Structure 1
């Protein structure tokens, strides 16, 4: 699973979500944060985002999303690690 964003013609970035999602408890709401630096590291120009987010997977996945927001990572209960 991944989160992707678009930032104009030929500008896109994809960040892996699977390692973070695999740690989450099933059936429980959890706030997951994706640092903008992860998107920038993956190639996005975060100052020009025109497709704020989409989620994709190569297989089957069931996920519920109740809110998408730009905000401080201190509000997230789990944060995607993009150090790799």
Structure 2
């Protein structure tokens, strides 16, 4: 029973990643420009947040797309593994 819950969890997060990709491609320029990072826990997050905040819209779209792609890839792999474990 726990495996089906994990499968639904990964499916939901896979769809979130696909929505992030969709938003990076078709989102309005106004909403892309208003996005930003709020708090940084370490130096890497601070550098990425500053680069995102002060970059033009095209670079922001690329960064959002890469984030959504990596997110979808991670949860897509987990989803396929959980499905294969469920049917075996």
**TM bucket, shorter chain:** under 0.3
Higher RCO structure (Cα 8 Å, ≥6 apart): 2
TM-score, normalization by structure 2: 0.25
Whichever structure has more strand as a proportion of its residues is 1
Whichever structure has more helix as a proportion of its residues is 2
Q: Whose radius of gyration is greater, 1 or 2? A: 2
